[in-house]
Amino acid sequence: MRALDWIVLVTSLVSIVLYGLYRARGSNTVDRYLLAGRTMPWYAMALSIMATQASAVTFISTTGQSYVDGMRFVQAYFGLPIAMVVICATVVPAFARARVYTAYEYLEQRFDTKTRALASVIFLCQRGLSAGITIYAPAIVLSIILGWPERATTMLVGATVVTYTVIGGIKAVTWSDVQQMGIICLGLVAALVTVVVLLPSSVSFGDAVFLAGAAGRLNAVTTNFDWNDRFNIWSGLIGSTFLFLSYFGCDQSQVQRYLTGRSISESRLSLLFNAVAKIPMQFFILFIGAMVFVFHVFVQPPVLFQHAELARIERMEAFQPVAQQYSRAFDDRQKAALALVEAHRAGDRAAAARRAGEYRMAQEGIDQARTRAAELVEQTGGEKGFSDTNYIFLSFVTRYLPAGLVGLVIAVVLAATMSASSGEINSLATVSVIDLYKRYFRRGASDRHYLLASRWATLFWGAYAVAFAGWGKKLGSLIVAVNVVGSLFYGSLLGCFVLAFGFRRVRGTAAFLGMLAGEAVVFWIFFFRNISYLWYNVIGCVVVVGTALAITYLAPRATFATPRTQPPG
């Protein structure tokens, strides 16, 4: 990076941290540290919720996902508005009336202590793993820019995030998120404008959109039903509805955001804002990836975007025919693209159809060469299932963006990580202290004691996330990986809350056994069946509800009925 990039980057990040800590003054009690004293306005919660979702994974991996597979990933968000309306109508007022710190605290009021404990442990497992993936993503950025080992950059990012979160609490996290969303939006617009400007002068913006569509990169909606297809309109409308019901209704990292609201109406407004804004934002990010693809139709990209692995296999004799195939396919694609644009402008449908076929055939040749190169990486000691998807956007940024914009985009990635990671670690600490430590290990201690315990728990989960982050390189596309990890656990949590809100006769033991059954079935499907992860949420929820209802209505009532208990104090 150049001097201007460093100035933009450092100024952006320092201002975010200082502003968050300034707004976090007075976070000297447990209530203020974990819930900001329930004083947050709707717009701060709304932007914080959006920023927490918009982790570095979103910018690094989603753009790469669109580059290689098109925009159909956006369908994974089609269920979001439905889920938000349901949560606003049911979950938000219930949690507000219960005056809980965590979602799982409500389960003890409704069921019993063991159900609350199991739900808390499931959340800690799921969010703890996801936090590691979130921290790993920006480590890729710094390793590419600075040339440092990924482990070293992971430690640096993790230490920064943990320090910031331990000091500031939820209030610092939320107000920093507000500022971060401004930087994120500015960086996204700058990235799209830059890639369009860098297109050849003979290729207009409309031509670029046409070429992206001809290559299958604008496939935002696919209507075919296939259990094995991760992204189609059916998994998006059904599966993702269950995913987002779980994420915003049962995941403490999101629940904690709207628990800080100063009223039920403001909490609802924050969620409805995301229902309206999230899909357009995700579409915009995916569209940037599609435009980067079109840019590389005219500017030859490397065979692999992971430069370290590419440098290793380039010296091999077996790589030479791969490189030759790739260069030929690139030349063929470029010629076919220019001919396709001319035919399209002339309105010659027959010629356009013929040129489109040539264009797609050349793209297949490029894809085959990239696949062969990835196989060489695996065959020569590289990681199994090698994928360079997470490096595509960063390669474009560092090679082609002008001075200043590189620093801005890197600031976007790191700011998003600070937001997502701090929110995750803060929620993990909240559940650890409120649902487990305070409930089972140290009852009746002073507020100062629990405040100190919250800071230590924050430090622990930050260290845990850093330790797990090294596994991120083995997961392929990070944006997919983080959703897969969540889907392994979300269905069971959602099923438990569906029982809590919708089936008053169900008691604690039935809900507890239902969650165990739900997790068992989901993990069995994950290991032994090839079904898209979005359906895990549906299946897990249905199994939990079905098992609990069967126990409630079919088993001897005296065996499984458990009285509801109230939390102490």
SS3 for 353-406, per residue? HHHHHHHHHHHHHHHHHHHHHHHHHHHCCCCCCCCCHHHHHHHHHHHHCCCCHH
Confidence grade of residue 546 (pLDDT, cut at 50, 70, 90): very high
Q: Looking at residues 401-417, what average pLDDT do you find?
A: 77
The DSSP symbol for 239 reads: I
Q: pLDDT tens digit string along 419-450?
A: 777 778 888 999 999 999 998 898 888 989 99
Q: pLDDT tens digit string along 486-499?
A: 788 989 999 999 99
pLDDT score for 556 = 62
Cα–Cα distance for residue pair 254/209, rounded to 1 Å: 35
Work out the mean pLDDT of the chain and round it to a whole number: 84
Contact 78, 240 (CB under 8 A): yes
Cα–Cα distance for residue pair 51/181, rounded to 1 Å: 6
DSSP state string for 30-50: HHHHHHGGG-B-HHHHHHHHH
Q: Which two tokens stand for residue 118?
A: 């199991």
Work out the angle between the directed axes of helices 56-69 and 264-298 (0-180°, nearest 10).
40
Confidence grade of residue 12 (pLDDT, cut at 50, 70, 90): confident
pTM of the shown model: 0.79
Whether residue 472 has pLDDT greater than 60? no
pLDDT above 70 coverage of the chain, percent: 89
pLDDT score for 292 = 94
Q: Looking at residues 269-275, what average pLDDT do you find?
A: 93
Q: Which two tokens stand for residue 60?
A: 């690094």
> Which position has the higher pLDDT, 304 or 569?
304
pLDDT score for 444 = 86
For 190-275, where are the E strands, in sequence order?
A: none
Q: How far, CA to CA in Å, does 523 sit from each of 84, 126, 232, 514, 537?
A: 27, 13, 23, 14, 12
SS3 for 185-207, per residue? HHHHHHHHHHHHHCCCCCCCHHH
Mean pLDDT check: name the lowest of 128-132, 163-167, 429-433, 445-449.
163-167
Cα–Cα distance for residue pair 328/54, rounded to 1 Å: 38
Q: Which two tokens stand for residue 197?
A: 């400007």
